Amino acid sequence: MAPRIASISIAPLSFPPTPQLALPSPEDTEAQHQHQQQQQQQHQHQVNIEAKQKQRGKMSQQSAPYDMQIKLLMIGDSGVGKTCLLLRYANDSFSPTFITTIGIDFKIKNVDIDGKRIKLQIWDTAGQERFRTITTSYFRGAQGILLVYDVTDRRSFESIRNWVSQIQQHADVHVNKILVGNKCDMLDEKVVSTEEGQKLAKEFGIEFWECSAKNDINVEQAFIGIARDVKDRLVADGGGGPAASKGLSLNKAGQGPTRNKGCC
């Protein structure tokens, strides 16, 4: 090895070195050969990795457990029953205890709508004003929004207009919406009539349901209704596959005429 160190130290300061000035020794040839072999092996290794990755990509597409993912958001004043509606729909449970939502929460529900396997990601927001900055930051990614009021609380009904203007400010312009009047089991305390709910929904050109999380009235219909509207819009936009399910870019106005559905 010492002679080679010496030859480097006396080499002319030209770059790149001219090959004829440095004839390769048998050791150099052997080293070059090994180096070439290593490079070939590395190249083959890289090709194998890429082939495996492609294969994995294909397999994960084939075995995706759903065809489409849809993000829904629930908004409305505190206490109207958003969490209870979600718990009824996702877990088929109900609790009379009021535990206000802190910030935001979500649940996943897999459904089949018109032959499409849909993964619903449903975000439940806090109705309290103090969480407004957090909750409105989630509007942008929503593809469908459930506007919820309490049929026994007129103020919550009147707030719906404010919530709609929040949507206009923070959500995607083409987001689908649905109006939900909850607690329709409380007939004696009902202060917002079914007709008023229908009229407001008609004004906004959206679907309307009166529901009861407590007695499981129209809960599934409301969630499936909004999910179907979103699905139809995404399919019409050509974005119906799992890859389009990130749901952050929506391209087409999709609200159909008002369809007033079930009432208590």
Using CA atoms, how far apart are residues 225 and 27, in angstroms rounded to an integer? 77
Q: Does 126 bind ligand GTP (CB under 6 A)?
A: yes
Q: Does 120 bind ligand GTP (CB under 6 A)?
A: no
Beta strand residue intervals within 76-127, DSSP E: 104-113, 116-125
Q: Does 135 bind ligand GTP (CB under 6 A)?
A: no
Using CA atoms, how far apart are residues 177 and 149, in angstroms rounded to an integer? 14
Count of C-beta atoms within a 10 Å radius of residue 113: 17
Using CA atoms, how far apart are residues 166 and 132, in angstroms rounded to an integer? 10
3-state SS, residue 254: coil
Q: Which of 119, 177, 190, 214 binds ligand GTP (CB under 6 A)?
A: 214
Q: Does 218 bind ligand GTP (CB under 6 A)?
A: no
Applying CB under 6 A, what is the total number of residues that bind ligand GTP?
A: 24
Q: Which of 69, 72, 82, 263 binds ligand GTP (CB under 6 A)?
A: 82
Toward ligand GTP, which CB reaches closer, 20 or 97?
Answer: 97
Phi, psi of 235 (to 5 degrees): -65, -45
Shortest approach of ligand GTP to residue 229 CB, angstroms?
A: 22
Structure-block tokens of residue 249: 């870019």
3-state SS, residue 227: helix
> Which of 69, 174, 85 has the alpha carbon at shortest distance from 124?
85
What distances in angstroms separate CA 198 from CA 183, 192, 240, 243, 251, one per listed residue? Answer: 16, 11, 30, 36, 28
Q: Does 197 bind ligand GTP (CB under 6 A)?
A: no
Shortest approach of ligand GTP to residue 203 CB, angstroms?
A: 23
Q: Does 219 bind ligand GTP (CB under 6 A)?
A: no
Q: Which of 64, 66, 79, 262 binds ligand GTP (CB under 6 A)?
A: 79
> Which of 195, 145, 192 has the alpha carbon at shortest distance from 167?
145
Shortest approach of ligand GTP to residue 98 CB, angstroms?
A: 3
Q: Does 190 bind ligand GTP (CB under 6 A)?
A: no
Stretch that binds ligand GTP, among 1-9, 51-59, 123-131, 200-208 (CB under 6 A): 123-131
Q: Does 144 bind ligand GTP (CB under 6 A)?
A: no
Name beta bridge partners: 70: 120
Residues that bind ligand GTP (CB under 6 A): 76, 78-84, 95-98, 100-101, 126-128, 182-183, 185-186, 212-214
